[in-house]
Amino acid sequence: MADGETVGVVGAGTMGAGIAQVAATGGHPVRLFDAAPGFAAKSATAIAARIDRLAEKGTLTAEAAAAAKARITVVDALADLAPCQVVVEAVVEDIAVKHAVFTTLEQHCAPDAILASNTSSIPIARIAQALRHRDRVAGMHFFNPVPVMRLVEIISGPDTAPAVADRLSVLGERFGRVPVKVKDAPGFLVNLGGRSFTTEGLAIVQEGVATPEQVDQVMRDCCHFRMGPFELMDLTGIDVNHPVSEIVWQGYYCDPRLRTTPYHRSLREAGRLGRKTGQGHFTYDDKGVRTPGAVPPLPDAAPAARVVLLDVSAALADLMAGADVVARDDGESPLLIAPVGEDCTAVAVRLGVDHRRLVAIDLACDTSKRVTLMTAPGADPAILAAVAARIGANGRAVTAIKDSPGFIQQRMRAMIANLGCEMAQIGIADPADIDTAMQLGLNYPQGPLAMADAMGVAAVHAILRQLQEATGDDRYRPSQWLRRRALLDLPAATPA
């Protein structure tokens, strides 16, 4: 692909305008079309204003900004895109509309021109179905806001020529994006890979283990996600993330690993769509400021004076600094343990200890700001409160949850890692591209395969197996990619 080849953009809405902007600042002449009369011209004016702001901030020189603005031409008909070497479609997610656009483009564009779709949910194979020359059709899926989000998914349908994906990857780089090559599949890469973060959070709340506020606090403070799953869903809109969850789940023939919850659906049906309606998982004022969500209170208590450590751990002892730490059960003191994948009930039965005094502490994450505690049914609330007070006296916030195999973050990170492994298994993308896409597309602190390695592949496998056994739910079925690497003691990113 030669420098400066002309790029056509069909659809001048938010996504199309963003694509036109990065194409122009990347050095390509752009022809911008929208079916609504006058809308493309209005959009071009807004693009020019954004480019001017980049120059004001020093991101672009005044000369580069002027040149970028001059590269954008508004056209009145799809036929005016005939000179374009690449056309990117960014219209509504309606297959009939897309077929009409692509069949018209096929009539007017050169035989070697690439026809790409910015679709986020419709299979490329289905879009290409209406065309005679399907080998030149591919996906070029950008993320909103396009000028800020660096990722672009280059999606090859069953008939897409390899050279087309290669050319679009080069084009993506010239647009200043990071391209990843992805196989045509429901949700492509990011919309598939992002399911676990939200749906496992929803499962935890559905089970009554924790509240949305508690889940978000743990995932931010202990795992370094920029946003928790519930505030993220409220930001994107329940009317967006619930349908996408349903589409991806159905697209994979109802694989339970992708299943959402009745609670998720009920919010959409109630019109509680998140920030846009002032109510979702949380409530918001007129300025969009969120009201803190519910957190079950702990009773006031003096810090525990003596504790029994069932696990010999320097980290556990550090959390209990100031208490008399003993190794043998005195029949009165709190019993502390740091399980991986087990709940308190299973630990109490396995060890034959008093479940009323047993407190599980999650050490499999960052505990410098927040510590997660859980207890079995029938536990003494005074014991839990005393342990929480001791941890609080040592400078950490405490999240106390109901019994759950894997606490909150072990479950959630194991599910994220497992889905990343499954994407590698079915060839959605290369392992390195999976990690890159999830970090750039969703701002994850790590990609899912890197997350599996950080947690320990064997530990992730064990967490999932224990969850599957405890619940009887194939939602927690380990990917074969993960299982084999856990058994062979190999990193998650080891090639097939």
- N-terminal to C-terminal alpha carbon distance within the chain: 32
Q: How far is CA 229 from the centre of its chain?
A: 8
Catalytic residue among 153, 200, 231, 342: 153
Structural contact between residues 482 and 496, judged by C-beta atoms closer than 8 angstroms? no
- Closest Cα partner for 46 from 20, 26, 11? 20
H-helix or E-strand spanning residue 398? strand 397-401
The single-letter code of the amino acid at 343 is D
Structural contact between residues 242 and 266, judged by C-beta atoms closer than 8 angstroms? no
The length of the chain, given as a count of residues: 496
Distance between CA atoms of 8 and 116, rounded to whole angstroms? 10
Q: Which residue shows structure tokens 């007017």? A: 108
Checking DSSP bridges between strand 7-10 and strand 86-89, what pairing results, if any? Answer: parallel
- Closest Cα partner for 210 from 490, 398, 451, 356? 398
Cα distances from 422 to residues 4, 257, 396, 414, 425, in angstroms, run 39, 10, 36, 12, 5
Token pair in block for residue 221: 């403070």
Catalytic residue among 28, 141, 242, 281: 141
Q: Is 403 left (phi over 0), alpha (psi -120 to 50) or beta?
A: beta
CA angle 462, 467, 470 (to 5 degrees): 120
120 catalytic? Reply is yes
153 catalytic? Reply is yes
Q: Report H helices in 252-380.
A: 262-269, 314-319, 344-351
What strand order describes the sheet that includes 72-74? 72-74, 30-33, 7-10, 86-89, 114-117, 137-142, 151-156, 178-183
Catalytic residue among 43, 118, 191, 418: 191
Structural contact between residues 172 and 152, judged by C-beta atoms closer than 8 angstroms? yes
474-477, Cβ contacts within 8 angstroms, sequence gap of 24 or more: 474/256, 474/257, 475/203, 475/256, 475/257, 475/259, 476/257, 476/415, 476/418, 477/256, 477/257
Cα distances from 234 to residues 183, 200, 201, 212, 229, in angstroms, run 29, 16, 13, 11, 9
Helices 195-206, 409-425: axis angle to 10 degrees equals 140
Q: How far is CA 406 from the centre of its chain?
A: 20
Catalytic residue among 43, 117, 118, 120: 120
- Closest Cα partner for 5 from 113, 155, 89, 103? 113
281 catalytic? Reply is no
141 catalytic? Reply is yes
Q: Which residue shows structure tokens 């990917």? A: 479
Q: Name the residues annotated as catalytic.
A: 120, 141, 153, 191
